[in-house]
Each structure stands twice: as C-alpha cells, then as structure tokens.
C-alpha cells in the first residue's frame, strides 16, 4: 500500500480536491491519499465544496490538517500544490509539484476548471503508477 499526501497552503481547496479524487480513482488496496496544508483554514472553501458536489464528492464535512514533517515522512509520495518553500522536503519521499491555480474566491466556472485540471493530473498519476481500480466480483461501475 502506497500512501500519497497532497499538500497546499490552506488545505481548503486544491489538496482536498486532489485527495478526494485520488481516493475515488485509485484502487484502495494499492494506494490511498490524504491532504494537508502549511497554514490550514478552518474549513474547505464553500466554492470547492459546491464544485465537488457537482461530481458527487462531498467535502462539506472534510477536516483540514496541518502539514508536519512527521506527516510528510509517513508517505511515499508528496504532491505539493502551491505551498512552495513552506512545504517540507523529506529525504526518501518522492515529491512532485503541481502548479495548479488556487480556487479560493474564484468563480464557479474557474473552480470547475481547476477541479477538472486536478482530475486529469490524478488520472495520469494513477495510470502511470499502475494504481487503477481493477474490475472484480464486487466492483461496480
């Protein structure tokens, strides 16, 4: 099982969307994702909750989490999304940086664009690592 961490500044937009989409698309027996922020907000941005609800993902009660060095060390892949130098670099942890726009305060149309960009990146990541969900006797699509 591979643990993936998506990190941004407030853990209220990009990283929340990324973790939720990852967990929707990846085989949970192969990889799971969490999200965190360097300066977590008190809640997920309402515009993000609305955009994700459109694709049947409920982030209305998602908690924000502080990104600590210990948390970063507990994963095998850290994907940073706009936290730059504030995100820790941890020896032995693969790291990627996705330059994705911040959805905070954006129009619904722009938040949808950001959501869809993140979804595309997640789909490519899951496919490239071989973490796709596998059809099986109790798998329903």
What are residue 4's DSSP bridge partners? 33, 77
CB 41 within 8 A of CB 64: yes
3-class DSSP assignment, residue 126: helix
Residue 138 binned pLDDT confidence (cut-offs 50, 70, 90): low
3-class DSSP assignment, residue 70: helix
Give the helix/strand (H/E) hosting 138: none
pLDDT of 31 higher than 80: yes
Lowest-confidence range among 84-88, 90-94, 113-117?
84-88
Mean pLDDT of 66-95: 86
- pTM (2 d.p.): 0.92
pLDDT of 137 higher than 80: no
What does the mean pLDDT of the chain come to?
92
pLDDT for residue 40: 94
Mean pLDDT of 11-24: 97
Provide the CATH topology of domain 2-129: Rossmann fold (3.40.50)
């Amino acid at each position: 099982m591979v643990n993936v961490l998506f990190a941004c500044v407030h853990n209220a937009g990009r990283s929340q969307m990324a973790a939720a989409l990852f967990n929707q698309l990846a085989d949970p027996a192969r990889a799971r994702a969490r999200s965190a922020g360097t300066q977590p907000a008190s809640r997920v941005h309402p515009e993000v909750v609305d955009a994700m609800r459109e694709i049947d993902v409920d982030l209305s009660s998602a908690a924000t989490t502080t990104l600590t060095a210990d948390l970063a060390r507990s994963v095998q892949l850290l994907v940073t999304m706009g936290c730059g130098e504030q995100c820790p670099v941890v020896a032995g942890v693969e790291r990627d940086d996705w330059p994705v726009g911040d959805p905070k305060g954006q129009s619904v149309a722009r938040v949808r664009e950001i959501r869809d960009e993140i979804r595309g990146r997640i789909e490519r990541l899951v496919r490239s690592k071989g973490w796709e969900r596998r059809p099986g006797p109790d798998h329903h699509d």
